[in-house]
A and B are shown apart, each in its own frame.
Chain A
Amino acid sequence: MPGGAERVLRRRIGSVKNTKKITRAMELIAATRVARAQQRAKAARPYSEQLTSVIENLAAGGAEVDHPLLRQVEKVETVAFVICAGDRGLAGPYNAQVLRTAEREIQALRAEGGDYRILAVGRKVHDYFAFRNYRIDSDYAGFTDNPTFDDAVAIAHRVRELFDSGDVDQVELIYTEFVSLGTQRAVVRRFLPLEPISVVSGSGDAAALAGFSFEPSAEGVLQDLLPRYVEARLFTALLDAAASEHANRQRAMKAATDNAEELIVKLSRAMNRARQEAITTEIMEIVGGAEALGADSGSSEEPNLEEMLLATGWSAT
């Protein structure tokens, strides 16, 4: 039926236009959130930097400590994975990259006969591993796009519980590192045990500042300090992950908007062609009909095409 194809296409164009509006809005929202997430990551940097420098000063001051968080095990049997991805999808390869990296790590560990614990940060992480019948130790959700320090503390608390009790020998942190606006990559980082302090302190600057006095004592300060350091590192990772998520979503939504635009152009062309075809067909029918009439009556007068068209109710507009 003439006009049918045109109507179908018109409807599709309408729906693609709506999609484009939505993806465009999401792109703009993600863009502002990337900026804010970067701002937050920047604001959080002094704290972890200062903590690190205090640890360096402590090491320079000759603090020797046997802290549970430094406990190295010769044979690593159980490893906890803190996996940070998003709560929501529509962020391009963001979630998939982290999840794939994490699953590979877990499989490698199991191949060696080790046991795993999963701390799922982000709803997508929980869904992915629960669906594949992995055991999930604990899950955290609802804050991945805008994490607060309290969220980091909650996760750090569970991590320390596992590590202090000896349930796990090692903790790995899997998240997306925000390298720049254009580059983010999923990384696996050793989280616990912490590197021995002698390794942490490499700078000559700290050594030059030796001669510190401590209260209550170098060891006492370190006892308080290391848990804070763990929290700060986790918080930094969460902020990085949030910034990466927004950057990925912005890119994905930009691509979606561009695709929608392209599709609209293509569909509009198809629709115009369909309309043109329908018109041509109608004219051909009318002309054919008029000629048949003219031949039938046998009159010498040629039928007026315009009159014939108007008679059939066809309108030029």
Chain B
Amino acid sequence: MTMQIEFVSPEDVLYSGEGDQVVARTRGGGEIAFLTGHEPFIGSLVPCEVRVTEASGSVARFAVRGGFVSVAGPRVTVLSDYAIPATDIDVAAARSDLTAAQAAEQADPNDPEVRMALQWAEVRLAAAGEGVDTATH
């Protein structure tokens, strides 16, 4: 049995259709997978890779900077103010962002914006299938 999955960003609906599984990472809860019949749930997302397993078995990947996931009955909705499909990620830009963020982290390891930028760059690279050797989380 499949569930209805919607992936919505402010400017567009990125994905809408039947699927088997959604994997995301919530704030404080770590990675979490939603299958059909999951209890009603609302979670706040950290920068992460969201994987949607479609009914056909193929996996759609998105890099997500933040947002929410909501499960209500047979519907899973991912809301993100900033999300990119993995195929659209600019790897070179993500790499240079990563280098810049790492340099900034050296200077000030506790700045939340720097942490955010760092995570966001890593997530983009991971979603694009480019390995990141810095396993910081």
B27: contacting residue among A44, A50, A53, A215, CB under 8 A: A215
CB-CB < 8 A to A51: which residues of B? 68, 79
Name the one of A61, A153, A232 contacting B42, with C-beta atoms under 8 angstroms: A61
Interface of B is mostly: strand
Which of chain A's residues have a CB closer than 8 A to the CB of B6?
Answer: 46, 50
A46 contacts which of B8, B28, B29, B70 (Cβ < 8 Å)? Answer: B8
Chain A residues numbered 41-75 whose CB sits less than 8 Å from any CB in chain B: 43-44, 46-48, 50-51, 53-54, 57-58, 61
**CB of B102 closer than 8 Å to a CB of A:** no
Using a Cβ cutoff of 8 Å, how many contacts connect chains A and B?
94
B47 at the interface (CB under 8 A from A): no
Q: Which stretch of A187-195, A218-226, A252-260, A264-272 is in the interface? A: A218-226
Does A216 belong to the interface (CB within 8 Å)? yes
A50 contacts across to B, CB distance below 8 A: 6, 8, 70, 77, 79
Task: Decide yes or no: A148 and B11 within 8 Å by CB, A212-B42, A214-B42 being known contacts.
Answer: yes
Q: A40-B11, A54-B70 are in contact. Are A220 and B81 (CB under 8 A)?
A: no
Cα distance A40–B26 in the bound complex, in angstroms: 29
B109 within 8 A of A: no
Q: CB within 8 Å of A: which of B1-41?
A: 6, 8-13, 26-29, 32, 39-41
A-side contacts of B9, CB under 8 Å = 47, 149
On whether the beta carbons of B29 and A58 are closer than 8 Å, the reply is no
Contacts of B67 in A (CB 8 A): 228
Whether B79 pairs with A215 at a CB distance below 8 angstroms is no
Closest to B79 in A: A50
B100 at the interface (CB under 8 A from A): no
Considering only residues 39-74 of chain B, those with a C-beta below 8 Å from chain A are 39-44, 66-68, 70, 72-73
Q: Tell me, yes or no, whether A211 is within 8 Å of chain B by CB.
A: yes
Complex-state Cα separation, A209 to B74, whole angstroms: 12
A220 contact set on B, CB distance < 8 A: 27-28, 44
In whole angstroms, how far apart are the Cα atoms of A58 and B68 in the complex? 12
Judged by a CB distance under 8 angstroms, whether A145 is at the interface is no
Q: How far is the CA of A212 from the CA of B67 in the complex (A)?
A: 18
CA distance A152 to B13 in the complex (A): 18
Chain A residues contacting B26 (CB-CB under 8 Å) are 215-216
Q: Are B10 and A215 in contact, CB atoms less than 8 angstroms apart?
A: no
Known contacts: A43-B13, A50-B77. The answer to whether A216 contacts B29 by CB under 8 A is yes
B81 touches A215 (CB 8 A): no
Which one of A61, A211, A221 contacts B68 once the chains associate, using CB atoms below 8 Å?
A221
Chain A hits for B66, CB < 8 A = 224
A43–B68 CB distance below 8 A: no
- Greatest chain A CB density within 10 A among B11, B12, B29 is at B11
Instruction: Find out whether the CB atom of B40 lies under 8 angstroms from the CB atom of A209.
Output: yes
- Roughly how many angstroms separate A231 CA and B67 CA in the complex, as a whole number? 13
Q: Mark B93-132, 1 if CB is under 8 A from A, else 0.
A: 0000000000000000000000000000000000000000
In whole angstroms, how far apart are the Cα atoms of A53 and B70 in the complex?
10
Minimum distance in angstroms from B131 CB to a CB of chain A: 28
Between A53, A212, A218, the greatest number of chain B beta carbons within 10 A of the residue's beta carbon is seen for: A212
Q: Does A312 contact B (CB under 8 A)?
A: no
Residues of chain A with a CB closer than 8 A to B11's CB: 40, 43-44, 47, 148-149
Q: Give 5 closest A-B pairs by Cβ, nearest first.
A: A216-B28, A215-B43, A215-B29, A149-B10, A212-B40
